[in-house]
């Protein structure tokens, strides 16, 4: 908090450290998109910049919403998104072989994006409502499991495995932090591990199965889907410690790196800025996460602390899944690196999460300043 006589109170109350960090990452992202377009602000850097500005404003606006209000709208919003997901599955716009968009005429809405923060809030609200004494009973488990499974299932049906996994990850993190007994994680976790071959065999789409095959052995499909992972590793590996220099990345500039501006934007960045640039981004993200966890730790109400932790989990899963994928440590699932990858919806989701976290943080401060 910056206290100064010149800066007006509402501005001074913003968490500037976080905003600087986010602007830093976003700015680096814009520079990278400028390079990915071959040294031009069109078509990506400009639009991404605009989206960034709009959604950052949205986050600041969101930070003024009070916890009580968030609590009130959580259940209706969750319900509305589930309905939208059902509609998307039924009559959604088909693109890239998957139904992900709901075409509303003016804008294409991707309801699964909203579900990421919503699931965190919804589970926080559920455990907020649950009497403390019920924590060790089944009543603490099955409704929460259903609240996660319904939207995750609908998203996976679209099919969008990546987003489905993120929803599960955020929800399960909230369950874990709420205090559900460990056996409820260990036993299903073990069962899940045992069931992996069955899931692989019967539940996954052919293209998803192929991605896993290719992840395990990228060289098996050098020209096809394994190409992404191979070229991404080449980009990162050839960047070395200090990178090939701004606008000098041959992998991205000569289009050997597919999706060098979206899912694989980090590889573009690492090629030109090297391990130093890549590590800087990772560390900046870690500071963002640390700030978020700090908010969660300091929160006074059960709803606030679980919400904050859940929203942090959403942010973290974006970052972790994308980077693991780009570095060839996880199968390719279409998860962008928010603020670095081109694409407005990821920026939107991240800003919603950050806006909510800022709101919780502001209330902690104002409350403490009153007492």
Partner 1 sequence: MNRFTSVQADMVFSRRMLVVGGAQIAVAGALIGRMGWLAIRENEKYNLLSEDNRVQLIIVPPRRGWIVDRHGKEIATNRSDFRVDLIPEQMKDKDRTVALLTQLLKIPPDEVDRINRELAGARTFQPIQVAENVPYEAYAAVTVRLPELPGVQPSRGFSRYYPAGPAVGHLVGYVGTPSAEDYKKTKDPLFLTPGFKIGKQGLEKTLEPYLRGVPGGQRIEVTASGRLVKELEPKPDRSGQAVQLTIDAGLQEFAARRMGDESGAMVALDVESGDVLAFVSMPAFDPNSFSSGIGRTEWKTLSEDDHKPLVNKVSQGLYPSGSTIKPAMALAFLKQGVDPRQRVHCPGGLRIGNRFFSCDAVHGSVDMHAAIERSCNTYFWAMGLRTDPEQTTEMVNYLGYGQEFPIMGLASQRFGTMPSPKWLEQKYKRKWQGYDSANTSIGQGYVLVNPLQLAVMPGRLASGKIIQPRLLMGAPRQPAPDVAADPEHLVIIRNAMSAVVNGRGTGVGSKLPLDGVLMAGKTGTAQVYKLTTRGVANSNWKLRDHALFIAFAPADKPKYAIGCIIEHGGFGAASAAPIVRDCMTYLFDSEKAWSVLGPLEQSWGGTLAERTARRAAAIEAAAAAAQAAKSTT
- Report the residue number, 53 or 182, with the smaller CB distance to partner 1: 182
CA dist., res. 6 & res. 257, Å (int): 49
What DSSP designation does 94 have? Answer: E
- Report the residue number, 299 or 358, with the smaller CB distance to partner 1: 299
- Report the residue number, 111 or 331, with the smaller CB distance to partner 1: 331
CB of 346 to partner 1, least distance (A): 18
CB of 86 to partner 1, least distance (A): 32
- Report the residue number, 142 or 200, with the smaller CB distance to partner 1: 142
CB of 8 to partner 1, least distance (A): 35
CA dist., res. 224 & res. 239, Å (int): 24
Residue tagged 């978020």 (tokens): 292
Looking at the DSSP bridge assignments, the partners of residue 102 are: 109
CB of 360 to partner 1, least distance (A): 15
CB of 117 to partner 1, least distance (A): 18
CA dist., res. 88 & res. 111, Å (int): 8
- Report the residue number, 112 or 173, with the smaller CB distance to partner 1: 173
What DSSP designation does 92 have? Answer: P
Residue 21 CA: distances (Å) to CA of 15, 16, 27, 291:
10, 8, 10, 10
CB of 223 to partner 1, least distance (A): 11
Closest among 326, 324, 336, 321 to 168, alpha carbons compared = 321
- Report the residue number, 38 or 79, with the smaller CB distance to partner 1: 38
> CA angle 125-129-130, nearest 5°?
115
Q: Which chain residues interact with partner 1 by CB under 8 A? A: 132-136, 173, 176-179, 231, 233-241, 250-251, 254-256, 270, 274-275, 278-279, 282-283, 285-286, 289-290, 293, 296-297, 302, 305-306, 309, 313, 316, 320, 323-324, 327, 329
CB of 173 to partner 1, least distance (A): 7
- Report the residue number, 27 or 179, with the smaller CB distance to partner 1: 179
CA dist., res. 176 & res. 15, Å (int): 28
Peptide bond into 71 cis (omega under 30): no
CB of 256 to partner 1, least distance (A): 5
Alpha helix (H) residue ranges in the chain: 9-12, 16-36, 45-62, 67-91, 111-129, 142-157, 161-178, 183-198, 206-216, 226-239, 250-253, 265-298, 302-326, 344-370
Sign of CA dihedral 127, 129, 134, 138: negative
- Report the residue number, 237 or 344, with the smaller CB distance to partner 1: 237
């Amino acid at each position: 908090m910056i206290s100064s006589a010149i800066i007006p109170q509402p501005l001074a109350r913003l968490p500037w450290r976080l905003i600087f960090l986010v602007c830093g990452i976003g700015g680096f992202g814009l520079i990278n998109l400028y390079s990915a377009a071959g040294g031009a602000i069109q078509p990506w850097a400009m639009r991404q910049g605009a989206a960034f500005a709009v959604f950052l404003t949205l986050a600041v606006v969101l930070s003024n919403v009070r916890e009580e209000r968030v609590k009130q709208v959580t259940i209706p919003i969750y319900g509305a998104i589930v309905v939208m997901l059902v509609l998307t599955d039924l009559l959604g716009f088909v693109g890239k072989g998957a139904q992900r968009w709901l075409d509303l005429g003016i804008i294409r809405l991707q309801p699964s994006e909203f579900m990421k923060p919503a699931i965190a809030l919804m589970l926080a609200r559920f455990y907020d409502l649950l009497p403390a004494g019920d924590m060790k009973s089944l009543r603490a488990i099955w409704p929460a499991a259903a609240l996660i499974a319904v939207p995750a299932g609908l998203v996976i049906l679209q099919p969008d495995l990546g987003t489905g996994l993120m929803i599960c990850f955020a929800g399960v993190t909230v369950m874990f932090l709420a205090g559900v007994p460990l056996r409820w994680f260990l036993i299903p976790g073990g069962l899940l591990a045992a069931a992996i071959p069955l899931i692989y065999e019967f539940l996954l789409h052919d293209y998803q199965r192929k991605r896993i095959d290719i992840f395990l052995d990228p060289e098996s499909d050098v020209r096809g889907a394994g190409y992404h992972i191979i070229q991404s590793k080449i980009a990162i590996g050839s960047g070395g410690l200090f990178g090939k220099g701004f606008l000098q990345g041959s992998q991205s500039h000569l289009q050997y790196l597919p999706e060098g501006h979206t899912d694989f934007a980090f590889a573009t960045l690492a090629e030109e800025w090297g391990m130093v640039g890549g590590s800087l981004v990772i560390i900046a993200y870690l500071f963002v996460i640390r700030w978020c966890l700090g908010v969660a730790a300091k929160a006074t109400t059960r709803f606030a602390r679980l919400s904050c932790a859940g929203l942090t989990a959403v942010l973290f899963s974006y970052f972790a899944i994308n980077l693991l994928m780009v570095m060839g440590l996880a199968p390719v699932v279409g998860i962008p690196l928010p603020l670095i990858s081109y694409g407005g919806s990821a920026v939107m989701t991240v800003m919603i999460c950050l806006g909510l976290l800022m709101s919780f943080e502001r209330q902690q401060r104002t409350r403490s300043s009153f007492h």
